[in-house]
Structure 1
Amino acid sequence: MNIAVLSRGSSLYSTKSIINAGAIKKHTMEVLDPTYCTLSIENGNPIVRYYDEIIEDLDAIIPRIGASNTYLGSSVVRHFESMGVFSVVSPEAILQSRDKWICTQILSKANVPVPKTFLGNASDFDTILSEFNRAPIIIKILEGTHGNGVILAETYKSALSTMQTLQTANVPFIVQEFIEESNGSDVRIIVIDGEVVAAMKRQSKDGDFRSNLHRGGSSEIIKLTPEEEHIAIKAAKALGLGVCGVDLLQSKNGPLVLEINSTPGLEGIETTTGINIAQKMISYIERNKR
């Protein structure tokens, strides 16, 4: 098969891992940077040009769409899908998972447990803060990644000033309960085609509450409970994601889905678990393109 990875970084670990996995299975692999794709509708037909070449021989795509490229990237995926090209994630799923509030709404509708969350649109922020009994809270901008745009407000004053600043700057945000008992850790679970294929526990470095490996956190293999595995699969299904990373918090009330990543990084979890997740992505395509 002819398979393309939609990525702006051909030298990135995840992109290279997928390219290598496909090549080992004798597929023709290539990297397409979505920013160099020109999309058009001509004579009623969708056309994708890469630089000046029309792309019309792909069987499948693996989107690796970054947060700064969400709109264009999802548009490219939609165009390829309309041409009959199989994608491991849909454009709608990319858009919905990228927005933290929309993602939380969809998970709630599917009865997937999530932390107590408010959209930061109240005319009186006291209305929101009173619901948390002035306990520490988490404030998140809607499309932050790698822990960026996530703020721990430990006092009422810091929460109020942060919310007012974001509102003045017209930056949409959510307010979420702080799960203190998680102790700066979370669980990253990779789900492919409705099956958990890998999991690791991430721990924040000293002085930080965010467990992202990009921020210096550490990781270790974890054996999931049946409940954690069930919730991760249910979350992926709710968003309609064939491939995703599900982040769970281990709370005193059970596992809570923190967020879902439609473009999960592979380096940390492949290195930690020794599992070739890229190979499992290729196998997923093979099962669906027989």
Structure 2
Amino acid sequence: MKFAILSRNSQLYSTRRLVEAARGRGHSVRVLDPLRCYMRIACDGFGMHYKGRPVSGYDAVLPRIGASVTRYGTAVLRQFELMGSFSPNPSDAILRARDKLRAHQLLAAQGIGLPATVFGDNPDDTADLLSMLGPPPHVIKLTEGTQGAGVMLTEKLSASRSVVEALRGLYANFVVQEFIGEAQGADLRCFVVGDRVVACMRRQAPEGDFRSNLHRGGSAEVAEASAEEAATAVRAAQGLGLEIAGVDLIASQRGPLVLEVNSTPGLEGIEQATGRGIAEAIIDHIAGRVISRQ
């Protein structure tokens, strides 16, 4: 089977592991920098070149598209889709997941538990907007932030108003959410492949912080998702149209809540924490899906 991996850096851990897993399963695999792909779009067909040569015939394309190249990267992925290649995470699904506001609206509409979230645009409505959420602490998130960047905790109402006003002054897109204090700075990263959770780790925020992201100094240990947590993670991934996703859950008094659905989850932290071959599970899933389409 012929695989392409869209990645800007072939030396990244996740990209290297996926290449290793694909070749270990006997597949042909090539890493393509999406920014070096360029396209011809016409009613008589779709074409793609890469560094001066035609690109075609890939059975499956696995996107590892960073947030900074979302627009162009998803356009390249869409071109592959139009040329007949299968992707476990389609271009439109990635766009849904990257926009936190859109993702929350879609998941909430499907009855999936989330922290209460508010969003508004006019500065005159800030006080009433925050009253819709309830008393602080509040979590304020940029809608396109990643790895914990652009996430702030405000403990006083005046601080929430100040941050909201500052972000509006910068024309930033953001949401404000309730703070789930009972989680005590911990969350659960569930790695979803297809219709199951193949690995799970519990992440703990470092002292003095509430963000548990490993890139922010959080720690991780292997964990087992409960039946309810696993079902919530799979529903969240499928609700956005993703077959491969990192779903972050937080424990609350009303059950597991979805914090975020990551369409390009890293493999290094969770493979090291759990000792599981997630890259192999991904390749096996994609190969099975390609065969089922034939």
Partner amino acid for 2:262? N
Preserved CA contact (<8 Å) 2:117 2:133 = no
* Number of residue pairs aligned between Structure 1 and Structure 2: 290
Preserved CA contact (<8 Å) 2:7 2:34 = yes
Q: RMSD in angstroms over aligned alpha carbons?
A: 1.0
What does 1:79-158 align with in structure 2 at a 5 Å threshold?
79-122=79-122, 123-158=124-159
Q: C-alpha displacement at 1:109, in angstroms?
A: 1.1
Cα distance in 2 for partners of 1:133, 1:41 equals 50
Instruction: Provide the residue aligned with 2:31 in structure 1.
Output: 31
- Is 1:177 the counterpart of 2:178 in the alignment? yes
What does 1:186-201 align with in structure 2 at a 5 Å threshold?
186-201=187-202
TM score, norm. by length of structure 1: 0.98
Instruction: Provide the residue aligned with 1:286 in structure 2.
Output: 287
Q: C-alpha displacement at 1:87, in angstroms?
A: 0.6
Q: C-alpha displacement at 1:129, in angstroms?
A: 1.6
Q: C-alpha displacement at 1:84, in angstroms?
A: 0.5
What does 1:7-86 align with in structure 2 at a 5 Å threshold?
7-42=7-42, 44-86=44-86
Instruction: Provide the residue aligned with 1:202 in structure 2.
Output: 203
Partner amino acid for 1:234? R
Q: C-alpha displacement at 1:248, in angstroms?
A: 0.2
Q: Deviations over 1:191-238 (max 9, x none)?
A: 111111111100011111100001111001112111111111111111
- Is 1:275 the counterpart of 2:286 in the alignment? no
Preserved CA contact (<8 Å) 2:118 2:130 = no
TM score, norm. by length of structure 2: 0.96
Cα distance in 2 for partners of 1:44, 1:174 equals 43
Q: Deviations over 1:42-69 (max 9, x none)?
A: 4621111112111012111110011101
Cα distance in 2 for partners of 1:289, 1:116 equals 38
Cα distance in 1 for partners of 2:207, 2:61 equals 39
**Does the residue aligned with 2:84 lie in a helix, a strand or coil?**
coil
Q: C-alpha displacement at 1:172, in angstroms?
A: 0.9
Preserved CA contact (<8 Å) 2:118 2:132 = no
Cα distance in 2 for partners of 1:224, 1:157 equals 38
**Does the residue aligned with 1:105 lie in a helix, a strand or coil?**
helix
**35-44 or 245-254, which moves further after superposition?**
35-44
Q: Cα gap change, 1:46/1:133 in structure 2, threshold over 3 Å: closer, same or farther?
A: same
Q: Deviations over 1:221-260 (max 9, x none)?
A: 1121111111111111111101001100001111000110
What does 1:208-219 align with in structure 2 at a 5 Å threshold?
208-219=209-220
Unmatched tracts of structure 2, length 5 or more: none
Instruction: Provide the residue aligned with 2:263 in structure 1.
Output: 262
Unmatched tracts of structure 1, length 5 or more: none
Preserved CA contact (<8 Å) 1:120 1:163 = no
Partner amino acid for 1:18? L
